[in-house]
Amino acid sequence: MNRQNNMDLEEIKNQLYVAVLSDVLDQMGYTQQATRITFHAYTGIPKLIGRCKTTLWADMYDVDKNPYELELQAVDSCKPGDILIAAAGGSNRSGIWGELLATAARNSGCQGVIVHGAVRDIDKMRDMKFPVFATSKNPYDSANRQRVIDLDVTVEIDGVKFSPGDIVMADEDGIVVVPKEIEAEVIKAALAKVSAENITRDAIKNGMKATEAYLKFGVL
């Protein structure tokens, strides 16, 4: 499976979810691919899938001579189907993502944003129906408080590595990253697991004991 187009990922989104992808990755030996910290779907859109477009952020305490420089570059270089990843170390020093960045990102084809840190302008982004997953909210502007120090590099959030082009999915359970070098195998196995889970669920609904169902179908 080469780089999927947006329609393919949308089809996957309708069939899969974070927990099943995490299970499959676990079974393949990739045991650190899903976050454990709490992200909130601040604009009310509970599910998101796309390709990682990464930014690395740092707190700052001096006057920024080139405010917004790299974050604007990142937003303008998004491609259709990308999800902008803002790895800000969970900082609540400012709201690093808001309405204007969301508008520019959408114009570039960005599917949404995942922020390990704070966001603002939530009501306006909700009106835009722009998917936003973040760990906090904060009304302060990022100028002279936080800035992007690198982009299109591997970043880490809660021990999970996000590399440019990897598939990332977010839902109410958390966030999972599927490395691009194994994505075909993972997606195939996850679809098979969902099918097996549906069969197991139906059997239990029809009266089969959980132990018997597990022994028969091998899915839990």
Binding residues: 98-101, 120-121
Instruction: Indicate the annotated binding residues for Mg(2+).
Output: 121
- Measure the CA dihedral 89/90/94/95, to 10°: 110
Q: Which residues are annotated as a binding site for substrate?
A: 98-101, 120
Residue 82, φ and ψ in degrees, nearest 5: -70, 150
Look at the alpha carbons of 183, 80, 85, 174 in this order and tell me if their dihedral is positive or negative.
negative
